[in-house]
Amino acid sequence: MSIRILSPDEAHARQQAGALLVDVRAPHERALGMVEGARGIVREDLQTDPATHIADLDTEVLLVCQRGARSLQVALFLEARGYRNLSSVEGGTDAWDAAGLPMQRADVDADFSERYSRHLRLPDVGLQGQKALEAARVLLVGAGGLGSPAAYYLAAAGIGTLRIADDDVVDRSNLQRQILHTEARIGTPKVESAAIALAALNPRTTIEAIRERITSDNVERLLDGIDVVVDGADNFPARYLLNDACVKLGKPLVYGAVHRFEGQVSVFDAGRHRGVAPCYRCLFPEPPPPESAPNCAEAGVLGVLPGVIGLLQATEAIKLLLGIGGPLRGRLLQFDALAMRFRETRLSPDPQCPVCAPDRAFPGYVDYAAFCAGGEV
C-alpha cells in the first residue's frame, strides 16, 4: 500500500503547500465543523465517479473524515482506480480540531454545537432540523405525570419555546410520577416548578409558564402561534376542548392517557387532514360515564407508566416538527405495562364526526364539563 498516513500537522503542512484536502463525510457531519479550506465531497459521490471530482490521477489528495477510518477506505478505493498520490489524515477532523488547527464551522455558537451534537450527526435531523426545533413552539397542557417526561425531553431536544399551561400546585402525592417536581417545591404552582427544572436542564429553551386551567375562553389564546400541541391533561373536558380547538385551528394534537397499568398514545391531525386523519371525537364520540373512568387520584397509577407514555408523546411531537418518520396519525398505540406489550389499533375518520367531517363548519365550543358529565349541551 502506497497510501501515506499523515498526522494533522503533517497534513496541514501539505495542504499549505497546495495539496487538495477532501472531507468525505456527509453534509450533516460537516455541519459540526470541517477543516478550513477542505472540499466537501460525500464518500459515495466520490466513489461513484472519481474523475468528475479529481480529474488528474497525479493530484496530491489528502482525505479526511471524522476519525480516519472512512478516509483510509476511500484512499484504498482511489488507489485501486489508479490515483497515485494519496494520503489519509490520522484521527480525522477530531484530531485536527484537538491539535488547534484551522477549522470552519456553521453559523452556530459553541453551546449549540456541543449541546446538540448527537442530533447534528443524524442525517434526518442535522443542522437544518435542529434549527427547526429551536424555532418551534409547543404547547404542553398539564405539568403532571405525562407533562413531566414530555417537557423534559422536549426541552432537552432543543424546542425553542415550550408553553406550559396548568393551574395546579405541587402535592407530595405527585412526586411518585411527576418528575418535574421536588420535595422542596411542594405547594409551588406546577408551572413555576416546571420552569425551574427545565431552565436548569436547557437554558436555551424559553418556558412560558401559564398558570391557568384550559377553558373555551382561553384555548385559542393558548394555541396562538403554536406548532404542535401535547395533551398532558388528566380530564375529559380538557381533552375534548383541545381536540375541537386543534381541529378548528389546524394544529396537530399529540394525545396520551394513562390508567392504572395501561396507557395509550395517538396523533390527532384532522384539522390539517380533513377526511383522511381522525380526531379524538372519531375515537371517542362521547365520553365514558365518570364511574367507569376514574382519574389517577381515584384509581391509582403505576408511577413509571406516565414516563413511558410521556416519552412517546415527546417523540411524536419531535417527529412532527421535523417532518420525519411515520407519526401515529390514524393509529392508537396501547401499552400494557404488566404484560410489557404494545398493541396498535388502526383508526379511521368518522365521516359523520360533528367536528372534523369534511365540509362541516365548526360547531362552536360547548359546555365540556356538562358534556362529559352526560348532560345536554
| Arithmetic mean of pLDDT, 169-192 | 97
| Arithmetic mean of pLDDT, 353-361 | 93
Whether pLDDT at 291 is above 70 = no
For cell 367507569, name the residue. 292
| Arithmetic mean of pLDDT, 22-34 | 89
Of the two residues 300 and 223, the one the predictor is more confident about is 223
Q: Which three cell numbers stand for residue 96?
A: 485536527
Say whether domain 136-372 belongs to CATH 3.40.50.880: no
**135 to 122, 154, 156, 227: CA distances (angstroms):** 19, 13, 14, 10
Q: Which amino acid, 129?
A: G
Give 84's DSSP letter: -
Q: Which three cell numbers stand for residue 113?
A: 454545537
Burial letters 249-283, b for 16+ CB under 10 A, else e: bebbbbbbbbbeebbbbbbbbbbebbeebbbbbbb
Which of 108, 109, 110, 54 is closest to 86 using CA atoms? 54
pLDDT digits (tens, 9 = 90+) for 320-334: 999 999 999 999 999
Residues pairing with 206 in the sheet: 161
This prediction has a pTM of: 0.85
Q: Which three cell numbers stand for residue 252?
A: 396537530
Contacts 24+ apart (CB under 8 A), 289-294: 289/374, 290/372, 290/373, 293/236, 293/259
Could you tell me how far CA 3 lies from the centroid of its own chain? Answer: 43
The full set of domain ranges for the chain reads: 4-105, 136-372
pLDDT digits (tens, 9 = 90+) for 217-271: 999 999 999 999 999 998 999 999 999 999 999 999 999 999 999 999 999 999 9
Could you say which architecture CATH assigns to the domain 4-105?
Answer: 3-Layer(aba) Sandwich (3.40)
Residue 151 and residue 198: Cα distance in Å, rounded? 8
Could you tell me how far CA 107 lies from the centroid of its own chain? Answer: 22
